[in-house]
Amino acid sequence: MQPHLLLLTTPSSYRLPAFLDAARRIDVQITVAEDTPSELIRPLPTRLLIDFRDREAALKAIRDLHAVKPLTAIVPVDDSGVELAAIVCAELGLAFNRPAAAAAARDKHLMRQLFARAGVPSPAFRLCSTTDDLMALSQTVRFPCVVKPLRLNGSRGVIRADNPRQFVAAVRRLNALLDRIEGIGKHEFLVEDFIPGFEIALEGLINNGEVQVLALFDKPDPLDGPFFEETIYVTPSRLPEATQAAIRAVTASAAQAIGLERGPLHAELRINERGPWMIELANRSIGGLCSRTLRFGTDATLEELILRQAAGLPIDTLSREGRAGGVMMIPIPQAGILRAIDGVDEARAIPGIEAVEITAPLNYPLVPLPEGDSYLGFIFARGSDPATVETALRAAHACLRFTIVPAIELQPVTG
């Protein structure tokens, strides 16, 4: 019988097309469940619309689907579906992570608590509230620190503060963002020690609790704040093998501390003279279109590996192709309206560049970090070694010119 997988996703997901293409390549049946506010749900012939926040209604909709077309597995494409997938799989008897582990992979406070309990190297932290006396709180904070929301991803809402004045401004800015996303009211957030060092990302697949490392990405641009917009990822890592082994060990300990047993793993770590520090860990694959940098065996994609594991199909190999690869997530330089993009053909002509994908449409309102949650697009490169790839990405980015006109109403709240 052909495996039937349910993909949990969002309307704005970068990742979904790659998963749909992977499903066609490995011949599995797919149903897409899209997170939709209850008031906008309507019958669609091609997609299941459910409100991830309305757990009872979502559970019923998936139960009804399973009764008619039995599911082999549920795969969360984005962070937003991880907890729902775990809850439904537990009820239907499908293999996935326990709900408690999925919750910890989504909630940064739960995650930090479990890391601390297990002795996983990670920043010192404290849970605070936007209703606290911020001036008084700022006198008790150790600087530099990082103000961080509990559940947003992609560095959204993450702000470094070096003194009490910056701390109060950062919390007020985060509060304004969370008011827009979650509604006006009290919001909890983390205050963490800032960990200096070189940042790296690990892409993995968890099988029966064992982390199988698929790739280590160097992030050659410094990420020291005040905001933490990621740009270049290059693999394989140029770090010494002993350091890479330590990164793998810390990541395995972190996944075990949370209780993750299967599925994709994306981890962010910082490396300094004291070794690797776990910054974030998620039960999903790498964000945006970045998975295009990875190919396994003859030409398998990362999404194919994830779907094969979920469907119980064999995975031929986890070995990557020999060449180095990299991606640049094109940052948004300022808020405003995108009017024109020039230099794309020149960027594509740079040796080693495989593709330049502009994902932000013209006349689109742009909002940079820490409020924003998207990029202008992606640049992809391959080459004989990581340095060559990094050079090609920088040269291609230098060719691009973006015309952005100010839009006063889009300027971020500064507090």
**Residue 317 to residues 60, 211, 304, 345, 387, Cα–Cα distance (Å):** 37, 15, 11, 36, 26
**What is the residue extent of each domain of the chain?**
4-104, 124-193, 323-415
Q: Specify burial of residue 4 (Cβ count, 10 A radius: 0-12, 13-18, 19+).
A: middle
CATH of range 4-104; options 2.40.50.140, 1.10.260.40, 3.40.50.20, 3.20.20.105: 3.40.50.20
- Can you give the pTM of this predicted structure? 0.93
Predicted local distance difference test score (pLDDT) of residue 408: 63
**CATH 3.30.1490.20 describes domain 124-193:** yes
**Residue 207 to residues 79, 263, 294, Cα–Cα distance (Å):** 19, 7, 19
Predicted local distance difference test score (pLDDT) of residue 44: 79
Q: What is the pLDDT along the chain (415 residues), one digit of tens a residue?
A: 899 999 999 988 889 999 999 999 999 999 999 999 888 888 777 789 999 999 999 999 999 999 999 999 999 999 999 999 999 999 999 999 999 999 999 999 999 999 999 999 999 999 999 999 999 999 999 999 999 999 998 899 999 999 999 999 999 999 999 999 999 999 999 999 999 999 999 999 999 999 999 999 999 999 999 999 999 999 999 999 999 999 999 999 999 999 999 999 999 999 999 999 999 999 999 988 999 999 998 789 999 999 999 999 999 889 887 899 999 999 999 999 999 999 999 999 999 999 999 999 999 899 999 999 889 999 999 999 999 999 999 999 999 999 999 986 444 544 4
Predicted local distance difference test score (pLDDT) of residue 415: 43
Token pair listed for 342 = 């020039």
- In total, the chain counts a number of residues equal to 415
The Cβ of residue 69 has, within 10 Å, a number of other Cβ atoms equal to: 11
**CATH 3.90.1170.60 describes domain 323-415:** yes
Predicted local distance difference test score (pLDDT) of residue 413: 45
